[in-house]
Amino acid sequence: MDMLVTIAILAACLFAFNIGASGSAASMGVVYGAKVIKKRRMALFLAGIGAIVGALWGGQHVTNTLGKGIISEEIIDVPIAAIILLVAGGTLLITNYIGIPLSTSEVTVGAIVGIGISFQQLYVTNVIQIVSLWLIIPFIAFLITYTFEKLRVKIGHRIKWKIPHKVLAILLLITGFFEAIAAGMNNVANALGPLVGASIVSMEVGLPLLAIVVAFGSFLFGGKVLETNAKKITNLSLANGVVISSTTGVLVIIASFFGMPIPMTQVTTTAIVGISATKSWKLVWKQRIIHQIVKVWVTSPVISLVIAYSLTEIFVQKSFYTVTLLILTIVITFVLLKYEVKVDKKIGREWQANE
C-alpha cells in the first residue's frame, strides 16, 4: 500500500507538471501574442504565479467535485486514486508528445466516470451537469466576444474615439493575469482531487504543493504551448485581447466556484473564434481549429474513460476479459486519429489549391 501511495503522489505531481506546461501556460497566450509582454520567460512566470494564486483562492471547490462529486467517496481508495492519476496524467503526457491536444478537465472526469461505470456507482446527474457546461460555457464565450466585437465596430464607426495604447496594454496585462488565476482555480484540482478523495493528502497541504508544481511546469516547459497559443491571436487587437481574456477568466472562475471542472482551452478558443466570426462566418467554419475543438471534446473524456474502466476491471475487479477491450480500443483510437490527420492534411491541400 505504501508503494501505491508513492505511485499516486508521483503520478499527481507528473500530472500537475503537465497541466502547468499546457493549460496554465496557455492562459498568458493572448498577452504574449499581443506583445504586451515580450519576454517569454516573464509571461510563463506570471502564468505560474497566477496558477498558485488561483489554486489557493478557490481551488478547493473543483477539488471536492473531482474527489467525491462524481463517484462515491467510498470507492476512491489509494489504488483507485492511482489509476485515475496514472490514466489522466499518462494520457495527457503521451498525447502532448504526439501533438494531439487534450483537455485536462475532460481527461480527469473521463477517468473517474470510467471507474464509476466499473463499480456501477455513478452520480449521473452531476456528470450530466458537467458535460452540459462543457458545451454551454464555450458557446457563451463565443456569444460574448461576438457581441462585444459587433458593438465595438458599430460604435467605432459612429464615434471617433480611441483608447490610448498604453491603457489597453495595461488592461490586457491585468485580464491576462486574471485568466491565469482562473486556470489555477480550475486546473490544479484535476491532479489533487483523487488524492483528497482517497485521503492521501489533505486539502490544506495538497493545494499549495501541487499549485507550485503546476507553476514549475508552466515556467520550465510551457514555452511551446505559449508560442502556439500566441500565434492564434496575432491578428487581434489589444481591445480584442482584453475581451477574450476577461471573458475566459470570468466564466472559468464562476464555474470554479460552483465546483465545475471546465476545459479552459476550448473556452479561450471559442472566444477567439467569436471575434473572427464578426468578419466572416464562412471562413470561420472552414478553419481547422473548429474541427480540432470538436475532436478534443469527444476524444478527451472517451479515451481516459475506456482506459480507466479497463484497468479497474483488470486490477481491482479481477475481470481479465476486458484486456481485449482495452487493446482493441487503443488500436482503433490511434488508427482513427492517424486517419483523421491524413484527411485533415488532404483537406488543407485542397483548400490551398482552390485559393
What's at 291, amino acid-wise?
H
The span from the CA of 200 to the CA of 206, in Å, is 9
Q: How many CB atoms lie within 10 A of CB 40?
A: 16
- Measure the CA angle with vertex 303, ends 301 and 308; round to 5°: 90
Q: Indicate whether 155 belongs to any domain.
A: yes
pTM of the model: 0.87
The span from the CA of 234 to the CA of 244, in Å, is 13
Q: Which three cell numbers stand for residue 240?
A: 480584442
Query: Grid coordinates 477568466 are at which residue?
Result: 249
Q: Indicate whether 208 belongs to any domain.
A: yes
The span from the CA of 338 to the CA of 332, in Å, is 10
Q: Indicate whether 122 belongs to any domain.
A: yes
Q: Indicate whether 100 belongs to any domain.
A: yes
Q: Which three cell numbers stand for residue 206?
A: 495538497
Q: Which three cell numbers stand for residue 273?
A: 473564434
Contact 52, 20 (CB under 8 A): no
Q: How many folded domains does the chain comprise? A: 1
Q: Which three cell numbers stand for residue 232?
A: 492564434
Residue range of the domain that includes 270: 2-319
Q: Which three cell numbers stand for residue 222?
A: 510551457
Q: How many CB atoms lie within 10 A of CB 59?
A: 29
Contact 119, 312 (CB under 8 A): yes
Helical H runs in 198-259?
203-221, 223-232, 238-257
CA dihedral 24, 28, 29, 33 (to 10 degrees): -160
DSSP state of 21: I
Residue closest to 36 by CA, chosen among 137, 147, 145, 173: 173
Q: How many CB atoms lie within 10 A of CB 106?
A: 29
Q: Indicate whether 344 belongs to any domain.
A: no
Q: Indicate whether 278 belongs to any domain.
A: yes
- Measure the CA angle with vertex 14, ends 317 and 211; round to 5°: 115
Q: Indicate whether 244 belongs to any domain.
A: yes
Q: Indicate whether 335 belongs to any domain.
A: no
pLDDT tens for the 355 residues of the chain, in order: 688 999 999 999 999 998 998 888 788 988 998 889 999 999 999 999 999 999 999 999 999 999 999 999 899 999 999 999 999 988 777 766 655 556 889 999 999 999 999 999 999 999 999 999 999 999 999 999 999 999 988 887 667 667 788 999 999 999 999 999 999 999 999 999 999 999 999 999 999 999 999 999 999 988 888 887 777 655 678 889 999 999 999 999 999 999 999 988 889 888 988 888 888 777 666 666 666 667 777 777 888 898 898 889 888 988 877 667 667 766 776 676 666 555 555 555 554 555 5
Contact 180, 46 (CB under 8 A): yes
What are the distances in angstroms from CA 306 to CA 68, 96, 185, 226? 20, 19, 27, 30
Q: Which three cell numbers stand for residue 90?
A: 499518462
